[in-house]
Amino acid sequence: MDVFLQQLMNALQWGSFYALIAIGYSMVYGVLMLFNFAHGDIFMVGAYIGFFVSSGLLALNLGSVIGLSTGVELGLVLVLTLIISMLLNSIVGMGVERIGYRPLREAPRASAAITGLMIGIILETANLALLGPQRRSFPELIPTTTITIAGASVTNKKILIVIVSLVLALLVHQFVQRTKWGMAMRAMAYDYVVVPLMGISSDRIALMTFAIGSALAAAAGILFGIAYPVLDPNMGILFGWKAFVAAILGGRGSILGAALAGFLLGFIEIFVTMIFPSTMRNLIAFGIILIILTFRPHGFFGEPFSAQLRL
């Protein structure tokens, strides 16, 4: 039983990252009918921004300047890092939209998807060229404490990661469901052609979608750095692909669907490893997803058909 509980905790943490990144994929896919394949690399950029912001903040030595205890200082640094990095990364995301995707708004969707792949490669290689290939060690923002609950070891990091991810996912969901901007986004997802005629600027909605997705990716990047403190320029590639699978599994444009599918993917990966030889992890995990998609081709919360499929 305690093994099960332990793996459950492992899966919750692992799924959190998929969930946060999948939401970004899903929003862009929903609103613009666009596979933003650069999203995994935007996550990578977010992690690096988080690395530099937190290192910078730590170097400022706020604790001794204002007179805070180490614990409070680290907490403050973490919160500031999250906020600043999310802002900066949303600017990166908007830049990608403006430079990479907007000129191709009317082009065939395949061209836009290819653009995404290219932007991804540009971000990776730019990072390599600017920062060099060596790994970065993410600063320790949370001193680890391990708690044992019913035989399962849980760290304070794990709990924080899961909670922050859930809160962010719910916030975005509320934003899309309750605000006027959110309504505009949903309208765009429903009908791409008519909505701009109603006085809604599609360019602005596109920018906003990218900004929110990239902010979430930055949060995921920082949490990732806290959990796995070795950053490298290619960290977003495989991770991005898997999160993309989660986004499709969740259903087009569905935020809760993407989050749910992200967690599900984490669970499948961890529990497959628990039951079968770990060699077969990806084989079985993605086999299961293939079966799910066979029976639910539109994902969990996807519409059976969309008014404007621009493929």
Partner 1 sequence: MKTKKIFRLTLLLVIATLICTACGQAAQPTIKIGVNAPLTGDIPKVGEGSKFAAEMWLEEIGGELEVGGQTYPVELVIEDNESKAESAASVNQKLITQDEVLAIVGPQSSKQAVPAGGAANDGQTPMVSPWSTNPNTTLNRPWVFRTPFLDSFQGPAVAKFVTEEFGFTKAGVLYDIASDYPKGLADYFKQGWEDIHGEGSVVAFESFTTGDTDFSAQITKIKESGAEFFFTPQYYNEVALIVQQARELGFNQPIVGSDSWGSAELLNLCGEDCYGLFYSSHYLAENPTGEAKEFIEGYEEKYGYVPDDVGALTWDTMHIIERAINECGEITGDIEADRTCVRDALANIKNFEGVTGTMTFTEEGDPIKCALIIKIGDDGSKSVYEQTCPEE
Binding site for partner 1 (CB under 8 A): 3, 6-7, 10-11, 13-14, 128, 132-135, 137, 144, 146, 148, 153, 155, 157-158, 224, 227-230, 232, 234-235, 237-238, 269-271, 273-274, 277-279, 281-282
Q: Which is nearer to partner 1, 155 or 202 (CB)?
A: 155
Least Cβ distance, residue 162 to partner 1 (angstroms):
13
- Burial class for 205, CB neighbours closer than 10 Å (0-12, 13-18, 19+): buried
Q: Which is nearer to partner 1, 39 or 158 (CB)?
A: 158
How far apart, in whole angstroms, are the C-alpha atoms of residue 220 and residue 227? 10
Q: Which is nearer to partner 1, 108 or 133 (CB)?
A: 133
Least Cβ distance, residue 127 to partner 1 (angstroms):
11
Least Cβ distance, residue 4 to partner 1 (angstroms):
10
Q: Which is nearer to partner 1, 135 or 178 (CB)?
A: 135
Q: Which is nearer to partner 1, 16 or 115 (CB)?
A: 16
How far apart, in whole angstroms, are the C-alpha atoms of residue 34 and residue 28? 6
Least Cβ distance, residue 281 to partner 1 (angstroms):
7
How far apart, in whole angstroms, are the C-alpha atoms of residue 216 and residue 200? 24
How far apart, in whole angstroms, are the C-alpha atoms of residue 269 and residue 11? 8
How far apart, in whole angstroms, are the C-alpha atoms of residue 90 and residue 84? 10
Please enumerate in sequence order all residues whose Cβ is within 8 A of that of 121, keeping only pairs 6 or more positions apart, or say none: none
Q: Are strands 136-137 and 146-149 parallel, antiparallel or unpaired?
A: unpaired
Q: Identity (one letter) of the amino acid at 211?
A: A
Least Cβ distance, residue 240 to partner 1 (angstroms):
12
Least Cβ distance, residue 47 to partner 1 (angstroms):
11
| Sole residue written with tokens 């600043």 | 84
Range 210-244 burial, b when 16+ CB lie within 10 A, else e? bbbbbbbbbbbbbbbbbbeeebbbebbbebbebbb
Q: Which is nearer to partner 1, 202 or 282 (CB)?
A: 282
